[in-house]
Chain A
């Protein structure tokens, strides 16, 4: 027994490295899941600080804090890091921790590739941050990397392209691993239509990644050869077409939006039934709607570029197809509300964030419909209305779902309950400050304030000041979240195996904290 107690972590017959080597060489899905989450958290602090630099500069009209070139570097890197270095790795972290636990598998299908897939990320993150210290500073052409700006810049643009390549390789490896794990390693009795919705949404997300990331890799490779090898894919002077980059980029970019949000749908679909103490309303329709959204996401890309010039017939096509995505998305929102309907609801922190997600993501969805209408979009393209729209979708959508998921599964990961009182404080500060930050941006955009400028006309001063105050409040509120996580790791009230009264699923059948190795003998799902 003494032997068992001292070797709880390496009971598989061979010694394990300790210290830093444990993390460098680990093939354990829980270790790698934690690494992904910490990486996302660190990058969130970096890219969040960049957001605060942006908001500090925009607090008042005129130039006070940074020069315009550095401001543009901040907007570019904030976007790139938040998308590729925060939201995507956080979802990969959830996938690594939760998918094997939820389908009753002992680990991911390709544990060594899993290790490599993760350790590529810090390299890419380092390259992105390193750009700031290169001659000429970081990339300043916008996170969408449009030529001609991205062809003309200095060495930091090459580093950015390499970083995107590496991030893409990591994503593809992660996706292959997730698909193989889900399709081949489910416990006996866990049929596809019994899988938790989070697993379903990640399966579909992984297919989206495999379909689109190579397209992005192709686009940035063409940028790289345009920059260094005298090709002219996107150089009009050499017979190329810069608009072609936008088409290729957004053929990746729009499914990417759903790559960021589909796992959020999955997490919310786990949390709401738990705290409403009712099964998810319309499980099958949720699966169908997710698949429909994924397919439709491939035929809407040009709504990001209505203003660059395209035939009226193309504008009509992309307008119609974009508006039709609201149908399956609306089904999802309806199902979440119907799940809560007449449920025995309690409002612990994960549920609060999930409900905020449903309400605020819907606002982001509706403003998306506004942007989908070509004549309207031509007015509001590249204004703060678009900034407001995608921050409602990505902050109160994807990020709130990540936070909700962390609160929901943290007791299972750490074995300790988080501090509920501070969790609620974190929620209310986040939800109020998020709205103070981004809601006024709708008005700014409708009034014509353009994106990606360090300065603005005097009539925009009040709403910008309000947005900046909200942004700082939001940013510093997240320190409560960090404190809560560290506190739960260090100790606190012991979590039960089930953790939440209404929780159902295989992950709640294992002890809290989840042992290093779980489901070495597959459970049987009835």
Chain B
């Protein structure tokens, strides 16, 4: 588990860039070694929920 330490933030960054669709090669290679599929999937679903909340926030701002 030691090699995955601090990787929650790394998983969040990887997922953020995946929503945009690009990732710097050196960071991608780090991701490939250090992140587990479970981390990426959990962070992906959490980020999707966050994405929905952000959109709802924008909608709320526009509508009010």
Chain B binds chain A: yes
Indicate if A317 sits at the interface (CB-CB under 8 A): yes
* Cβ-neighbour of B18 out of A292, A313, A321, A332 (below 8 A): A292
CA distance A327 to B28 in the complex (A): 19
Residues of A near B25 (CB, < 8 A) are: 284
Mostly, the A contact residues are helix
- CB pair A316–B59 under 8 Å, yes or no, is yes
What is the CB-to-nearest-CB distance from B9 to chain A, in angstroms, rounded to a whole number? 18
Structural contact, A313 and B63, CB atoms closer than 8 A: yes
**B23 near A285 (CB under 8 angstroms)?**
yes
CB distance from A261 to the nearest CB of B (A): 16
Could you tell me if A320 and B21 are in contact, using CB atoms closer than 8 angstroms?
Answer: no
Q: Is the CB of B63 within 8 A of A327?
A: no
A-B contact pairs, 28 of them (CB 8 A): A193-B32, A282-B22, A284-B25, A288-B17, A288-B18, A288-B23, A289-B21, A292-B18, A292-B19, A292-B20, A295-B48, A296-B48, A299-B51, A299-B52, A313-B56, A313-B59, A316-B62, A317-B55, A317-B59, A320-B55, A320-B59, A321-B52, A321-B55, A327-B19, A327-B21, A331-B20, A331-B22, A332-B21
Contact status A320-B63, CB under 8 Å: no
Report Cα–Cα, A285/B62, bound state, in Å: 32
- Given contacts A291-B44, A327-B20, 14 further A-B pairs with CB under 8 A are A285-B21, A285-B22, A288-B23, A289-B21, A292-B20, A292-B21, A295-B48, A296-B48, A299-B48, A313-B56, A313-B60, A313-B63, A316-B59, A320-B55
With known contacts A193-B32, A313-B63, A320-B58, A328–B44 Cβ distance under 8 A: no
Using a CB–CB cutoff of 8 Å, the interface residues on chain B facing chain A are 17-23, 25, 28, 32, 37, 44, 48, 51-52, 55-56, 58-60, 62-63
Q: How far is the CA of A288 from the CA of B17 in the complex (A)?
A: 8
From residue B36, how far is it (CB to closest CB) to chain A in Å? 12
User: Within 8 Å CB of A316, what residues of B?
Assistant: 58-59, 62-63
CA distance A328 to B22 in the complex (A): 9
The reply on A21 being an interface residue by CB < 8 A is: no
Interface assignment of A312: CB less than 8 Å from any CB of chain B: yes
**Which residue in chain A gives the minimum CB-CB distance to B27?**
A284
Contact with A284, one of B23, B60, B63 (Cβ below 8 angstroms) = B23
Kindly provide the distance from the CB of A258 to the nearest chain B CB, expressed in whole angstroms: 15
Query: In the complex the two chains form, is A288's CB within 8 Å of B55's CB?
Result: no
Count chain A CB atoms within 10 A of each CB in B48, B59, B62 and give the residue with the most.
Answer: B59
Residues of chain A with a CB closer than 8 A to B44's CB? 291, 295
A288 contacts B22, C-beta separation under 8 Å: yes
Minimum CB distance partner of B44 in chain A: A295
Complex Cα spacing A320 to B37, Å: 29
Cβ–Cβ < 8 Å partners of B20 in chain A: 292, 327-328, 331
Smallest beta-carbon distance B1→chain A, Å = 21
The digit string for A291-320, where 1 denotes a CB below 8 A from any CB of B, is 110011011000000000000110011001
Residue of B nearest to A295 (CB): B48
Closest 7 interchain pairs by CB?
A331-B21, A288-B18, A289-B21, A328-B21, A316-B59, A285-B22, A284-B28
Give B31 Cβ to nearest chain A Cβ, in Å. Answer: 9
Provide the bound-state CA to CA distance between A291 and B58, in Å: 24
Asked if B23 and A312 sit within 8 Å, CB to CB, the answer is no
Q: Specify the chain A residue showing the minimal Cβ separation from B63.
A: A313
Complex: chain B residue closest to A191, CB-CB: B32
User: What are the residues of chain B within 8 A of A328 when measuring CB–CB?
Assistant: 19-21
In the assembled complex, which residues on chain B have CB atoms less than 8 Å from the CB atom of A296? 48
- A312 / chain B contacts, CB cutoff of 8 Å: 63
| A77-123 at interface with B (beta carbon < 8 Å) | none
Q: Which residues from chain A contact B18 at a C-beta distance below 8 Å?
A: 288-289, 291-292
A328→B52 CA distance, assembly (Å): 17
Which partner residue on chain A sits nearest B45 by CB separation?
A: A295
Please name all residues of chain A whose beta carbon is closer than 8 Å to the beta carbon of B62 when the two chains form the complex.
316
Q: A478 vs B11: C-alpha distance in the bound complex, in angstroms?
A: 47
- A282–B37 Cα distance when bound, in Å, is 20
Q: Is the CB of B28 within 8 A of A317?
A: no
Q: A317: which B residues are within 8 A, CB to CB?
A: 55-56, 59
Min CB gap A17→B, angstroms: 41
Chain B CB count within 10 A is highest, among A282, A284, A296, A328, for A284
With most chain B CB atoms within 10 A of its CB, the pick from A289, A292, A312 is A292
Instruction: For the complex, give the distance between the alpha carbons of A298 and B49 in Å.
Output: 11
Query: Given the complex of chains A and B, what is the CA–CA distance between A336 and B20 in angstroms?
Result: 16
Q: Closest A-chain residue to B22, C-beta based?
A: A285
Tell me the complex Cα distance, A313–B60, Å: 7
- B54 nearest CB across to chain A (Å): 10
Shortest Cβ distance from A285 into B: residue: B22
A330 to B54, CA, bound (A): 22
**A330 cross-chain contacts in B, Cβ below 8 A:** 21
CB distance from A315 to the nearest CB of B (A): 9
Query: When chains A and B are docked, how far (Å) is the Cα of A291 from the Cα of B17?
Result: 12
B44 to chain A, nearest CB (A): 7
* Chain B positions within 8 Å of A331 at CB level: 20-22
Q: Which of B22, B62, B63 neighbours the largest number of chain A CB atoms within 10 Å of its CB?
A: B22
Tell me the nearest residue of chain B to A328, going by C-beta: B21
B61 to chain A, nearest CB (A): 10
